[in-house]
Amino acid sequence: MKHVVIAGGGFAGVRLARKLRKEKNVQITLINESEDFRYSPALYRAATGFKVGTARIPLEWMLIDSDNVNVVCDKVAMIDPDHRKFTLTSGSEISYDYAVCALGMVTTYFNIDGIADHAFGVKSVQEILTLKQHIHDSLEGKRDKKQNYVVIGAGPTGIEVAATLGMYVQNVMKKHKIRDSHVEIYLVEAGPRILPQMNEHAGLKAEKELKKRGVKILTNTKVTAETNLSLHTSNGNIATHNVIWTAGAMNNPFFADNAGHFTVAERGKIKVNKHLQSHTNVYVAGDNAATQFSGLAYIAVRHGNFIAKDIKNRIRGKKRKNYADPYPLQVVPVGRISLFQYRKFSIGGRLVNIVRRVADLVGYSDVLGPLKALTIWQNSERLEDEWCNTCRLK
């Protein structure tokens, strides 16, 4: 019996566990800080009024059909590749035959004064719930006649939030019968254009749609500081107590804490060989691995698929194949439209929303299986503000 220990319950980790769940000679331990899986493509929707349950899914439920998987809610602190064991923050030690580090990225604020203290995030469910509570409280409290909401970072997450935030705020105001507040949405980007991860045509389409929705786009604008009443930028100050930080990600601190065991590549990610290994019996997957397109959920799933096959081939003494990142498809929602890009080809419009919906179904299926995925997917466009007494009654 081989023991596979997976550190991290994201796309790569859960996909790997599911791909190995029918292996009778494999026992799996999945270690994750939270009891829940975070479906990141749905986070922006949850932040702007859609069901939180489509972004937060219990790991035990996801893997209920996996008899050889044990979920441990803890945090990995150290790895000892020579003795094949992890040490957890609880002090427990877990030995492995094969280890997989798929811990994901963490937010960085680039040491900008005040951002960590005052800005709201959208990269976890708890951050989203805190943001939604703040939006309701600040509108109800009418701290000022004008409400400026500033989204920092014009990557896919920032674009998605900026495009839907205005409508969400207006809906909250309507339900709370607030008629004397004026709302402005700003999108701040340090670089020369928005959506730099996609080609220029896609960026222009996104910019056009955002402007239709009244979003004020500020490119070539660096954030220098934040106080509880204003955001300071290289192009002046914006009066606001509603800053949403979507920029900045760095590799999980676990790798810096265990720097002697890993080789760091560009962007702080971990160098891996042609089998996604950092050591003979240690794999690195998902956002942590320095592969060409790592950082996308689609690629994390492919990492999980590859490692599952590689482990099975090693156990059975079969020939091992080499890994290569496939060129990814990218789909980004922007308000009423979506953008699609593959290599140099891109297209945007309402019809692309169909592609986005299909991509969501595939994404859920990758980590849930088809039946559970369909259950979640069917409810992913439903609104939810039941935690707010005023909104629940409307």
Nearest alpha carbon to residue 363 among 336, 329, 324: 329
At residue 95 the predicted structure's pLDDT band, cuts being 50, 70 and 90, is very high
pLDDT at 100 over 70: yes
pLDDT at 143 over 90: no
Q: H or E stretch including 361?
A: helix 352-368
Structure confidence by residue, pLDDT tens digits, 316-328: 999 999 999 999 9
Residue count (the chain):
394
The mean pLDDT of 249-263, rounded to a whole number, is 97
Residue-level pLDDT at 178 = 80
Tokens representing 347 are 């297209």
pLDDT at 130 over 90: yes
Taking CA atoms, 135 is separated from 43, 120, 245, 313, in Å, by 16, 11, 15, 52
The mean pLDDT of 36-41, rounded to a whole number, is 95
Amino acid identity of residue 78, one-letter, is M
Structure confidence by residue, pLDDT tens digits, 353-385: 999 999 999 999 999 999 999 999 999 988 776
Residue-level pLDDT at 146 = 82
- Please state whether beta strands 2-7 and 26-32 pair in parallel, antiparallel, or not at all (unpaired): parallel
SS3 content of the chain, % helix, strand, coil (to 5): 35, 30, 35
Q: Is 179 exposed, middle or buried (0-12, 13-18, 19+ CB in 10 A)?
A: exposed
Residue-level pLDDT at 387 = 59
| Percentage of the chain lying above the pLDDT 90 cut | 86
pLDDT at 139 over 90: no
Structure confidence by residue, pLDDT tens digits, 297-347: 999 999 999 999 999 999 999 999 999 999 999 999 999 999 999 999 999
Distance CA 7, CA 31 (A): 5
Distance CA 332, CA 347 (A): 11
Q: Which of 7-11, 79-83, 179-183, 229-233 has the lowest mean pLDDT?
A: 179-183
Q: Where are the alpha helices (DSSP H) in 29-124?
A: 43-47, 59-62, 115-118
Residues 6 or more apart in contact with residue 363 via CB below 8 angstroms: 39, 41, 297, 298, 301
How is residue 394 annotated by DSSP? -
At residue 235 the predicted structure's pLDDT band, cuts being 50, 70 and 90, is very high
Residue-level pLDDT at 385 = 62
> CB–CB of 16/66 below 8 Å?
no
Residue-level pLDDT at 179 = 77
> CB–CB of 216/185 below 8 Å?
yes
At residue 218 the predicted structure's pLDDT band, cuts being 50, 70 and 90, is very high
Nearest alpha carbon to residue 309 among 27, 20, 107, 5: 20
